[in-house]
Amino acid sequence: MDDSRSDQRARARDLGLARLRRSTRLSIVGATALAGAFAGAAAHSNPGHKAPATAARQRPQKATAQASPPVTQAPTPETETPPPATAPAPPPPVVTTAPPVATTGAT
């Protein structure tokens, strides 16, 4: 009689442990799937980091005839444009005796 009770208890314990192992595995698989789903949703929600579709799909065209580059004339002094003016350099910082406005650390 004592043996049958201990067998029932051992069997119940083993069944409970097996159920716990299965639920743990299911939880891990579910968490991994959810993490992947959220990562995919986050990746698709930020459209600014995609490669341009036209650059990836362009095929090199075969040249059937040699095309010569366009010929340009050398600039003459009358047609030459002056270089664009550059902005003047900013003035150097002013040295003052006043303490700085923003401080860090202890007061």
pLDDT tens-digit readout, 7-23:
999 999 999 999 999 99
How far is Cα 21 from Cα 26, in angstroms, rounded to an integer? 9
- Mean pLDDT in consecutive groups of 10 residues from the start of the chain, 107 residues: 84 96 97 95 77 56 60 65 76 83 69
Provide the token pair at 14. Answer: 């083993």
Q: Is 105 helix (H, G, I), strand (E, B) or coil?
A: coil
Q: What is the DSSP letter of 5?
A: H
In the structure encoding, which two tokens stand for residue 1, read together? 């009689």
Q: Residue 51: its pLDDT value, please?
A: 57
What span, in angstroms and rounded, lies between the C-alpha atoms of 2 and 24?
33
Task: Give this prediction's pTM.
Answer: 0.40
